[in-house]
Amino acid sequence: MPLAVYILGLSVFALGTSEFMLSGLLPPLADDMNVSIPRAGLLISAFAIGMVIGAPLLAVATLRLPRRTTLITLISVFGLGQVAGALAPTYEVLFASRVVSAFACAGFWAVGAAVAIAMVPVNSRARAMAVMIGGLSIANVLGVPLGAFLGENFGWRSAFWAVGAASAVALVGVATLIPRIPLPEQKPRLKQEMSIYRDRQVWLSIVITALAAGGVFCAFSYLAPLLTDVAGLDSGWVPTVLALFGIGALVGTTIGGRVADAHLFGVLMSGIAASTVFLAALALFASSQVAAVGLSFLLGLSAFYTAPALNARMFNVAGAAPTLAGATTTAAFNLGNTSGPWLGGKVIDADLGFAATAWAGAAMTVVALVAVVFSLRLQRSRTTSSRLVAGAPAVPSQAPVEACAPSTGA
């Protein structure tokens, strides 16, 4: 595996840390900016909105640009966005810095994945993508808890400075170790790729991904105040619990990635159902410190156990659009990361309490589960119709799942 691929993984570590670290910084940030915790939670949605818009937009806009130069530009803009966030005098400036950083993050994901695949043989592509995704998993295990620790001991701005420093290291690595990648000889036919959006299964996949991710992040975004105000944990425990969520995410990704190829719909239904149960349990037992800590780990496991299957499903139904399939998946995950914190904030504003965010999240995952069942029935109906036309026995079966690297939505 070329060293340059690991440099991309380091870059993703910085990107992922910035995206998710606010879940452990909301209380001190809200106090310093003199805003409510739900309004501070909108900063998480701001980043997700930037990813939703930026992923497909920049995937298309950078198709004919030099890859290495594009990566250098995007990681530089991202790093400057972190500096702007650390220096932000007002909430509005901080909000704007999050949107700009998200655009750069989305573009880096789109271009970085293409570069990683271009640098390795065909039979090593999955490994190359796994290294990039590994950067996101490590961000959840180390980066997010470290951000919470810095915020607790040195102020929330120190976490932004730390991510800015990590971005500078990634910039040096990209500039010195990423080779020049030849541009594709023929520009992809975007009009043809856009035709995938006429397929109901593509839209179902978007809905399932957004709701499955949004349900978990509806509660996870407000996990820090839930742990301190409801469970009664000392704020010093927040980084540890966030690390447990990240460890669960790493374990879940590993298991889900190995099982999803053979049992895609089984993973989708079992993973989303498990998230629903864990969210409901968190709502019921949030006042128990042991339950809150244990369920944080289990939520990370169930959410990221489902992620490989969500990605595989999108690549299966949108395989005719290699440029837009990955960008659509990223956008769908971040639709969830936008709607989840927004819904959680509305629940808190209604004086229902931090634990009620888990009930709201469970409602989202229940709808996702219904959509999975509908998607499975639609696929079986299509398979049956195809076989009848071809003269084959009408025995429903699940279409084979193509192997692909899991993604989480950064």
288-308 confidence digits (pLDDT tens): 999 999 999 999 999 988 887
Can you state the percent helix, strand and coil of the chain, rounding each to 5? 80, 0, 20
Banded pLDDT at 199 (limits 50, 70, 90): confident
Task: Please report whether residue 400 resides in a domain.
Answer: no
Banded pLDDT at 404 (limits 50, 70, 90): very low
Smallest CA-to-CA distance from 270 within 294, 305, 246, 300 is with: 305
Task: Please report whether residue 79 resides in a domain.
Answer: yes
Task: Please report whether residue 396 resides in a domain.
Answer: no
Q: What is the pLDDT of residue 203?
A: 93
Banded pLDDT at 187 (limits 50, 70, 90): low
Q: What is the pLDDT of residue 238?
A: 85
250 vs 399, more confident: 250
What's the total number of domains in the chain? 1
* Cα 27 to Cα 35: distance, rounded to the nearest angstrom: 10
**What confidence tens digit (pLDDT) does each residue in 55-109 have?**
788 877 776 778 888 899 999 999 999 999 999 999 999 999 999 999 898 888 8
Task: Please report whether residue 337 resides in a domain.
Answer: yes
CATH label of the domain that carries residue 200? 1.20.1250.20
Buried b (16+ CB within 10 A) or exposed e, 27-52: bbbbeebebebbbbbbbbbbbbbbbb
- Domain hosting 218: range is 3-390
Q: What is the pLDDT of residue 108?
A: 87
**What confidence tens digit (pLDDT) does each residue in 117-134 have?**
677 775 565 566 667 766
Task: Please report whether residue 403 resides in a domain.
Answer: no
**What confidence tens digit (pLDDT) does each residue in 165-175 have?**
999 999 998 88
Span of 214-218, 250-254, 345-349 with lowest mean pLDDT: 250-254
Task: Please report whether residue 51 resides in a domain.
Answer: yes
The structure's pTM equals: 0.75
Instruction: Map residue 1 onto helix, strand or coil.
Output: coil
Report how far Cα 321 is from the mean position of its chain's Cα atoms. 21
How many angstroms separate the Cα of 279 from the Cα of each of 159, 218, 266, 361?
28, 10, 20, 7
**What confidence tens digit (pLDDT) does each residue in 29-56 have?**
888 888 888 888 888 878 888 888 887 8
Q: What is the pLDDT of residue 151?
A: 85
Task: Please report whether residue 330 resides in a domain.
Answer: yes
Q: What is the pLDDT of residue 322?
A: 59
Check whether 396 has a pLDDT greater than 50.
Answer: no
User: Could you tell me the end-to-end alpha-carbon distance of the chain, in angstroms, rounded to an integer?
Assistant: 23
370 vs 136, more confident: 370
Check whether 216 has a pLDDT greater than 90.
Answer: yes
Contacts 24+ apart (CB under 8 A), 29-38: 29/151, 29/156, 32/155, 32/156, 33/90, 33/91, 33/94, 35/91, 36/348, 36/349, 37/222, 37/225, 37/345, 37/348, 38/344, 38/345, 38/346, 38/348, 38/349
Report the pLDDT averaged over residues 387-409. Answer: 48
**What single letter denotes the amino acid at residue 49?**
I
Task: Please report whether residue 255 resides in a domain.
Answer: yes
Report the pLDDT averaged over residues 276-283. Answer: 96
Banded pLDDT at 341 (limits 50, 70, 90): confident
